Structure 1
């Protein structure tokens, strides 16, 4: 039975939890992808930013609200209306994607590739990555070792350091502007308003934050309960308020980064990826010392996210697969991430994109169903129709996003051709939207018919 007396939280408690959430969300991709988006969009940075904010801010906020609305403690609870086995499968796929296969290793490789590698000779870079990633994940393991210390480690220590360093970059970037963002050329795909919006929307997938928001649920709930809250309703309210504050702060930072990226085109060509773009900007303003600033900035922000990811993985897997303890799962997660990181940033990004194209549609519909579920009592039929109709186009989008060895094969070309012929918005990478809406409509119709039949029988 829940205790009736709870600790009354202060404004400082709310700020610390929000700061922790900010630090958990804001990692490798959050720093480099919006800056690169600004370079790609140029003068059309506004619609690109709007699209990016939908998937990189609104969806992560909804994921936090979904955890709150469902009184969930992890990814498993979000998928539970579709049954135990679906919930387990969804949880495993989410954690593997944002965990040891792609998301967590990327936190180390972005830090190294952008901040450390430019200061090393090419002959030393493989060894440098090995040593750096080993130290990086050892630090992540130690910071996440005690679950109750995560709030202090991220919310009170690492995140404020990151924000101070980022402030200096923004201060110089806007007081000593390279050029006008609205006067820069746009790249192919960003020359029209619609294309700019949808490409920005898809770029938001790369942050992985909608997936991370679901995974971080257990970490946030543990932290909030550690502050003295016991009732589910109180934990949910605290989580929602902190989520709104954290994602609002993230949205502001994204806008600054996108504008800064567009401004940089006055001095630099569009870079191959955001890490190079950020390196150019920091070097322009701070010279040789910029490399040290960049290395520190990236390492701090990526470490905060890595701590959250490894902790969430260990917490969820220990809860559902108790063959290993929290610490053992934590050690396994950090070691696997260390191994994957040494494949390099380019390889990780190229193979993570297909998984994101597959998982993001599922995550989006499940988040929206969780938030709105009170209007149809979280009925399994509505979930089943919506998720089922989303599955096929999501699979097609995944195949189209694979590296050329798959996407340009006879099988890949045939799949892509079929998708573009029969699914609206396939060329935009949004083939799942119409089928998901059709599935939702059918599910709601079936739910309403059953509800009326039940009422008639009772009468």
Structure 2
């Protein structure tokens, strides 16, 4: 049994992890916030990095360090009912519900925006059929995932994106941070940037991808609990460094374009316009390859992770390959709603699922030192879910958020709960629930 990975193996696992994370939202959202945050770009970007980079890495490390094989295994600390509920909800959200379809629609938007003959619903259907056929092909070959993504797709993506980033840094389109922020970014810039990071879906994805990273490290011969956690952390730091540099570069790119380009409907169009500004028609070809590789590798990883997880949860019912077919087919259908619609519909679910993910990650890390205490998990997560549900209601479509009863509840929350306006009403209750849970566990349940 090995105790550690070699440097090249850490780099390979870090490359795999980066490749799994860095997909559709990772390219488009930093550009949007960079373009719209104006003078507050630094604070907004730091907030974004905290939730879009730090949390996903902590999620993978927490799973490995707590001696868990997967999110389902990790969630069992709060009871089997919670494990089934939360694992299913999270995987459907970062899988066929939102994240996988978004990889196809983002790629389509970038590649064919402006092409009148193919930029329509029929064009999206044809493209998504081809895209998900490729996703299915590579997902089924899960044994070669580390080679497909870690050794080939991620390095190719980094080389191509670096070309565009170098142009931006050494020949920016305009001054950065000179404009007034849009209304969203005028106040609480750090907190708003943190919540913007939710859009990447990477904290829940970190919990989901842990099953792939842990199994690959085990395949390399490291199985000891402490060694597994340490090697996961070392590989995670490789991923963290790469993601931070690229996010900061993309935010800078968006900020530099603010005086030149209009505020487009989504970051995919902004990215397309920037690449054409620097490289003309060649820029569009380069960008199309960048986005295609980024989104394809993430979609492959997500389909593989979802299929592997459901095969583990529902044993001896449906095979891994069948799940790959199901999730690819469902993603194909949802992708044809279009990018803007997918992002709009995903926001309420993200506002509910992110706080629960953050608290689960935090308690799992703390439990390494104090042991797993079921009641502490249950009380903390239940209270977090209750307050996160307020954010779900607030960001829901009008037929829900504007309902008379809901308006009364939200108005009361706005006037009574600290942090409600910025999406952090759950933080203080979660901390209090954790402390109360510890006291009850120590005084009454362990005696």
| Interval of TM-score (by shorter of Structure 1 and Structure 2) | over 0.9
Displaced runs of 4+ in structure 1, greater than 4 A?
Answer: none
Work out the CA distance in 2 between the residues paired with 1:267 and 1:117: 19
- Aligned counterpart, 2:379: 385
TM alignment of 1:139-178, pairs within 5 A: 139-178=134-173
Q: How far apart are the structure 2 equivalents of 1:32 and 1:256? A: 12
1:190 aligned partner: 185
Mapped contact 1:73–1:221 kept (Cα < 8 A): yes
Q: C-alpha distance in 1, partners of 2:379/2:293? A: 43
The 1-side partners of 2:225 and 2:439 are apart by 32
Q: CA deviation at 1:305?
A: 0.7
Counterpart for residue 104 of structure 2 = 108
1:424 alignment counterpart:
418
**8 Å contact kept, 1:42–1:186:** yes
Q: Secondary structure at 1:272's aligned position in 2? A: coil
Structure 2 equivalent of residue 42 of structure 1: 38
Alignment of 1:366-405 (within 5 A): 366-405=360-399
Deviations 1:272-328 (A, max 9, x none): 221121122111111122222221111100111111100000101011113011111
SS of structure 2 residue aligned to 1:334: helix
* Cα distance, 1:407–1:8 mapped onto 2, change above 3 Å: closer
8 Å contact kept, 1:358–1:397: yes
1:130 CA displacement: 0.9
Asked if residue 181 in structure 1 is aligned to residue 176 in structure 2, the reply is yes
State which of 201, 213, 217 in structure 1 corresponds to 2:210.
217
The answer to whether structure 1 residue 68 and structure 2 residue 64 are counterparts is: yes
**1:257 equivalent in alignment to 2:250:** yes
In the alignment, structure 1 segments of 5+ residues that lack a partner are: 455-459
SS in 1 for 2:183: coil
Contact 1:389 1:438 in 2 (8 A): no
Give 1:457's aligned residue: none
Residue 121 of structure 1 deviates from its aligned partner by 3.0
What residue is the counterpart of 1:238 in the other structure?
231
Query: Given that residues 169 and 282 in structure 1 are in contact (C-alpha distance below 8 angstroms), is that contact kept between their aligned partners in structure 2?
Result: yes
| Correspondence for 1:266 among 259, 262, 266 | 259
Following superposition, the deviation at residue 415 of structure 1 comes to 3.0
1:33 match: 29
Distance in 1 between residues matched to 2:253 and 2:63, nearest whole Å:
33
* TM-score normalised over the length of structure 1: 0.93
SS at match of 1:216: helix
Deviation per CA, 1:54-74, whole angstroms, max 9, x where unpaired? 110111111011112112221
Aligned to 1:17, which of 1, 6, 13? 13
Give the CA deviation at 1:235. 3.0
Q: Distance in 2 between matches of 1:119 and 1:156?
A: 33
TM-score normalised according to structure 2 size: 0.96
- Displacement after TM superposition at 1:32 (Å): 0.5
Q: 2:304 aligns with which of 294, 311, 319?
A: 311
Unaligned runs of 5+ in 2: none
Does the Cα contact within 8 Å between 1:354 and 1:398 map onto a contact in 2?
A: yes
Work out whether residues 113 and 269 of structure 2, in 8 Å CA contact, stay in contact via their aligned partners in 1: no
Tell me the number of residue pairs that the alignment of Structure 1 and Structure 2 aligns. Answer: 446
CA contact (8 A) 2:4 2:231 kept: no
Provide the C-alpha distance between the structure 2 equivalents of 1:8 and 1:444, rounded to a whole number of angstroms.
35
Partner of 1:300: 293
**Aligned equivalents of 2:194 and 2:4: distance in 1?**
39
Contact 2:110–2:269 (Cα < 8 Å) also in 1: yes
Residues 73 and 118 (structure 1 numbering): CA distance in 2 closer, same or farther, change over 3 Å? farther
- For the aligned residues, what is the CA RMSD? 1.7
Counterparts of 1:72 and 1:120 in 2: how far apart (Å)?
50
Quote the offset at 1:8 in angstroms.
Answer: 6.3
